[in-house]
Amino acid sequence: RRQELCLDIHCKILSNKIVAVIVDKMLISCYSFWHILRYSVICFQFIELINNYFTDSYE
């Protein structure tokens, strides 16, 4: 079930290729990612944080 959630989140970030690549490199694997972040809420906040960072950087 954890792997399923992680893959779902990974798909959601694919709309922004730059973020997807960087997050993918940070992820290493879904299990590593969940070991660090633990909860889907934190996972979404983390992705939003990265999205905001790149939005600010390129505007």
Q: What is the pLDDT of residues 3-27, one digit of tens each?
A: 454 555 555 554 554 444 445 555 5
Please give the full DSSP string across the chain, using - where no structure is assigned.
-HHHHHHHHHHHGGGSHHHHHHHHHHHSSHHHHHHHH-SHHHHHHHHHHHHHHHHHHH-
- Model confidence band, residue 48 (pLDDT cutoffs 50, 70, 90): confident
Task: Give the span between the Cα atoms of 2 and 49, in whole angstroms.
Answer: 21
For residue 55, pLDDT over 70 is answered with no
Q: So what's the pLDDT on residue 20? A: 45
